[in-house]
Amino acid sequence: MPARTVLQQADITRALTRISHEILESNRGPENLVVMGIPTRGVVLAARIGAMLADISGTVVPSGSLDVTMYRDDLGRNPTRVPSPTEVPPGGIDGKTVVLVDDVLYSGRTIRSALDALGAIGRPSIVRLATLVDRGHRELPIRPDFVGKNLPSATNERINVHLLEIDGDEFVTIEETEGGE
């Protein structure tokens, strides 16, 4: 079965704009906010959200990246992962509200790894989670605070996020896979 497109570029932009407004509303403004993206596409989404937060509030909101590779619980099964650099914004994360950003939320295991990685670099006062797509099937008690689109899916389906900065085009598809992800 071919992949079907579920979000176009305009849908992604609209979702990120809404998420940005929700972040500012829940934080009561941009003070003490830091946005951290999980590689690869979460970093791009975090940078976009950071820019949108700045446009909306008129205040620069620092963004960075958080590599979770060495904190994953599946390194034994997937040892070929290449770590990406963690980039902590100036001013760090101690005492800040950190919004973790990922492209697709599935089992919750990547986010668990991100929480461990975050704890290794500092102590935020609050951690929130933003995701472009929540597809369900959680294996851990992790729930996003900000969601672009809920896309209930079967375990034998895959969600593919394409972003202009990485892929040269922008859309989200869902497709059937052989034996599940």
Domains, the chain, ordered by start: 9-72+85-154 (3.40.50.2020)
Distances in whole angstroms, Cα of residue 12 to Cα of each of 36, 78, 155: 18, 30, 23
Per-residue pLDDT at 179: 59
Q: Tens of pLDDT along 129-158?
A: 999 999 999 999 999 999 999 999 999 999
The C-alpha atoms of residue 66 and residue 33 are separated, in whole angstroms, by 15
pLDDT lower than 70: segments of the chain: 75-76, 78-81, 179-181
Contacts of 135 (CB under 8 A, 6+ apart): 104, 105, 106, 151, 152, 153, 157, 159
Structure token digits, residue 35:
């946005």
Q: What is the DSSP letter of 62?
A: -
User: What pTM, to 2 d.p., does this model score?
Assistant: 0.93
